[in-house]
Structure 1
Amino acid sequence: MSIDIAIIGVGKIARDQHVPAINGNKAFRLVATASRSGGIENTENFDTIEALLAARSDVSAVSLCMPPQVRFAAAVAAIRAGRHVMLEKPPGATIAEVRALATLAREAGVTLFATWHSRHADGVAPAKAWLAERTIRKVRIDWMEDVREWHPGQAWIWQAGGLGVFDTGINALSILTEILPFPVHLAKADLSFPSNCDTPIAVTLDFAAPENAEVGAVFDWRHEGDPVWNITVETSEGVLRLRNGGAVMEIDGETQTLEDVGEYPGLYARFADLLAQGASDVDDTPLVHVADAFMLGRRVAVEPFTE
């Protein structure tokens, strides 16, 4: 029996990723949306999540795809109405919000799934398994793209709470914290802020890790040309590289054969499993690293940003 689900916030990511993933999973049936900017063809749309919750008692779960600054109130409304909740990344505007939602969901007896879609890239699980048996010496993350190409017109990412380059860099952090067999914590950061923006356009991060392993990252939205979404791990027994956001895995330069699942189909498969188990999955570790960068990082002023 399928679960009736609604999407809250119908933007590009919802249309391009969430809708196809839901339609391709027999565990779910998309029955409604809530969005002031328009819904999905042949699907009932409401202006607000409150209106949807009041009118559609059949909706058991909601997938929240709006920007993080406004997601908390929607999640609270859904949980208090007894609905299961899936959160797009990042799961909240602050760590405190995410932890409050986890407590609220636990008390209400509903499932809360704080998603990290990049953890479901095809190479991530095999990379985690390969690294578990090796000594890690150095990790280098290069996460660079042209913001004008990949985030056009998204003014909210430059406003307080929008995260700036961390909006995509957090994908790399979600992979890092999934594949490493040990925890790391931030030791140093430089954050480059355009003079007309509240969030950074580029950052460099250095992490403290066990056994003197070197772990560092560069995120940059000023990159021109093809995007670079790579994680390189030097170990005692070879070099592992995840390319294209984790979709491609190389060992010593040789491309590995991977199962082709896809990130968002993987997310909804995981959500279905959690619902079947009556469990939640709320890992805020990637967001902790971002918060630490804002707390610890040195602010560097750079030229203004214009579209």
Structure 2
Amino acid sequence: MTAPITLGLVGLGTIARNQHLPSLAETPALALVAIASRNAALDDLPAYHDIHEMLAAEPGLQAVSLCTPPQGRFEQAVAAIRAGRHVMLEKPPGASVSEVTALAHLAQENGVTLFATWHSREAAAVEEARRRLAEAQVRRVQITWKEDVRHWHPGQEWIWQPGGLGVFDPGINALSVLTRILPDAVHPVAATLEVPANRQSPIAAQMDMVTSSGAPVRAEFDWRQTGPQTWDILVETDGSEILLRLGGAELHVDGVQVSTSVDLEYRRLYARFAELVASGQSEVDLSPLQLVADAFLLGERRTVEAFHW
């Protein structure tokens, strides 16, 4: 049997503990051997203050998974790539499109794998929706992605800072699914960004897009929704009406639920990372991040009520 790929995890916040750690534990092709975090550690693994300490102390380390805020991740990825380690990036893959493009070139030059992940694409019903839409004529798309920032990002100031994306931090998940399931490319034509008076990034946004075939796509993102959360993508076609609910966990066709499954998103991502490393390939699709960047370029900024935790 082939020995597992040794991996270090950088960042040990909520998403790392809830998703990355259990998923790594169920991925035989990878072996978690070290942690790098400024403020946290695990009892059974070596822990380092930052990625530089980890890379210096763990010469046998083959890969790194970066689960840190996008601001500052470029320098971490560069350090790992130049040290000859394969790199997996949590979404969004960086604070800008150009910096991730630079990472892709650097990974190719150094002969290592770079994997820019989009976990929502691995939701249970996404591929079935993609299959059903492959030959369809899309008439209209409506994205409704509304959740409670206080529940999902309690006290996390980085999300409001430049590069943190604001409401596009969850909104980019919808855009990653959109760019996976539609048979045509899509581009924004207008956007509105609702920015709290005391913040730098939007708490809500609306985007109007169009497919290359001319179908309108409307997206509504909001971080102020309490109670039940909404993560829906509705696609009207010349035949069936396709609805992905709960972030892609459920598929409804013409009002009838046809599929659902358990959450295996991050397990699939780590399995794919192992495959890419084994085959010497990289996978860097920047289309969701490009749509967000375009929204900021095209967006009309509107100041709204100040946000306080």
Q: TM-score range by the shorter chain?
A: over 0.9
2:227 is aligned to: 225
1:274 is aligned to: 276
Does residue 212 of structure 2 align to residue 190 of structure 1? no
1:256 aligned counterpart, secondary structure: strand
Does residue 308 of structure 2 align to residue 288 of structure 1? no
1:65 deviates by 0.4
1:259 deviates by 5.5
Query: What is the CA deviation profile of residues 65-118 of structure 1, one whole-angstrom value per residue up to 9, with x for unaligned ones?
Result: 010001000000000000000000000001111000000000000000000000
Aligned partners of 1:82 and 1:210: how far apart in 2? 40
1:20 aligned counterpart, secondary structure: helix
Aligned partners of 2:223 and 2:217: how far apart in 1? 21
1:191 aligned counterpart, secondary structure: strand
Aligned partners of 1:67 and 1:176: how far apart in 2? 23
Gaps of 5+ in 2: none
Query: Which among 102, 126, 130 is matched to residue 124 of structure 1?
Result: 126
1:46-57 correspondence runs (5 A)? 46-57=48-59
TM-score, normalised via structure 2 length: 0.98
Aligned partners of 1:210 and 1:51: how far apart in 2? 47
RMSD over equivalenced CA pairs, Å: 1.0
Gaps of 5+ in 1: none
Does residue 85 of structure 2 align to residue 66 of structure 1? no
1:1-307 correspondence runs (5 A)? 1-258=3-260, 260=262, 262-307=264-309
Aligned partners of 1:88 and 1:100: how far apart in 2? 17
1:258 deviates by 4.6
1:261 deviates by 6.0
Identity %: 54
CA contact (8 A) 2:179 2:185 kept: yes
1:212 deviates by 2.7
Aligned partners of 1:6 and 1:294: how far apart in 2? 34
TM-score, normalised via structure 1 length: 0.98
- Which amino acid is the alignment partner of residue 172 of structure 2? I
- How many residues are matched? 307
- Which amino acid is the alignment partner of residue 107 of structure 2? A
Aligned partners of 1:31 and 1:300: how far apart in 2? 47
